[in-house]
Structure 1
């Protein structure tokens, strides 16, 4: 299964970001902690052209703590500023504001010497669709400043939001890149909800999810769905065992594959299967 999704407004957004970057002091790159590689737009680093950057690993409450630790070591070794965040609870926001001010401390000090005492720090938040940008901004600002939604691509226009006395944040719509070179990238983006549901085969995505979980989190499948998994079982066998346990059987005794797929993908999204990470450094 190959998934590609690049709506026309994303190309327009990319051009607008390039224009707005002239105004920006610090870039905040928001990644999904479950897939820090696949949720990183490979075009962003070339777009920002060396501007100071802080990486936020959002939804870190949904990812595997062991994986979070590995990513922490990775970013430390590469001397990259990173913060684990939870856009709903506000975890990591104080650390983010501190990191932004630290990166701009020398500029603020220079401006003070020139008599400019109220210099504001202008930041831009960048990330793929449905990674939690608007929710994070709302939490930072303490009010519903940016429209939020659980569908990829809700934010369509740029807006400035005041998040502290000194910091202004420019929200931008989520942008993907024109082509996923590796098919598994599109699949992982679909699993976390960054791809529009109507453009890919949900049953195929669910079957591939079972294959991944069987290899890396088999205990989660066994515990969540109260099934036995035998070495001889094919992925489809496990799929059908889950369906039978949930009673997803159509008239005539046939498995309701569609309903099972929707349940699996929904329970993954709600962390009911467990805290799952799909990538390690």
Structure 2
């Protein structure tokens, strides 16, 4: 089932961000290092490109992501004009301190000490924007929670040394084009649980882990082998291993799904990246090929109906 999630307050947040961006020098877009492109909001790209603003892409939660995949993403983003990327974990003391300097490099016209460097933190829900803001301010100024859409309003903060920071609410976009993106976002807890079926999300995640991180998956749950198992079967096996049972001995699939999702989100399975630039390109190519095939089939059906009518 395709996953979509766009609460009403996010539309007003977008309008407010568009207005504020006129007075901003650098956009700091916070991404989830485990799924950088899937967690990049195309509305943010459109807004900053319209204003021709440079962007620092912060690949947060890098301590949970596959280091090799993260290195590939850094090279991918650094090759884009007006973009610089950095990987860090905002929860590690001191790591966020490199962010203002990197922003300064993207806005050299604000480097003479006479005009403030104005930065704006943007991103989808639950990628760590508030954690970054608190780390930069060295105190708790933004509410943090392990759930999507905690921040609901915009605030402007003074960093000192002629630097200002605008914190914005997490924003999704109205339509997620790729089903796999929706599942990756849900697996990483960027989408409200009311919009997903967790057993389906867990099955998607299990299949991806089976394909790309089989050793880590088998080690975490002490599977002798993954042979003959697909995503749903793995979720069921995790449930049996963890004793996720209902009265009478049946399997509690929802609890089993939550075990797998929680282990992924916490890093208990290992350092996992759900996509790389290569897998992203392959997914988009497959999506385009499937769309072209559907269009060709529809055109052929229309032509056949026309011939029949004549």
Structure 2 length-normalised TM: 0.84
1:53-104 Cα shifts (integer Å, max 9, x gaps): 2111111111011111111222233353111121111454232111122233
CA distance in 1, matches of 2:94, 2:201: 31
Q: Please give the root-mean-square deviation of Cα atoms over the aligned residues, in Å.
A: 1.6
Partner residue in 1 for 2:56: 54
CA distance in 2, matches of 1:242, 1:77: 41
CA distance in 2, matches of 1:91, 1:269: 23
Aligned with residue 228 of structure 2, among 217, 228, 232: 232
CA contact (8 A) 2:122 2:170 kept: yes
- Over 6 Å off, 4+ runs: none
Partner residue in 2 for 1:152: 148
Aligned CA distance change for structure 1 residues 107 and 165 (closer, same or farther; 3 Å) = closer
How many aligned residue pairs are there?
A: 274
* Pairing 1:124-203 to 2, within 5 Å after superposition: 124-203=120-199
CA contact (8 A) 1:227 1:242 kept: no
Partner residue in 1 for 2:70: 68
Partner residue in 2 for 1:87: 90
Aligned CA distance change for structure 1 residues 237 and 142 (closer, same or farther; 3 Å) = same
Structure 1 length-normalised TM: 0.92
1:223-264 Cα shifts (integer Å, max 9, x gaps): 000012343234333222222221222333311211111111
CA distance in 2, matches of 1:250, 1:258: 11
Partner residue in 1 for 2:262: 266
CA distance in 2, matches of 1:66, 1:31: 17
Partner residue in 2 for 1:114: none
Structure 2 residue matching 1:168: 3-state secondary structure: strand
Partner residue in 2 for 1:208: 204
CA contact (8 A) 1:83 1:95 kept: no
CA distance in 1, matches of 2:197, 2:226: 27
Unaligned 5+ segments in structure 2 are 278-310
Structure 2 residue matching 1:242: 3-state secondary structure: helix
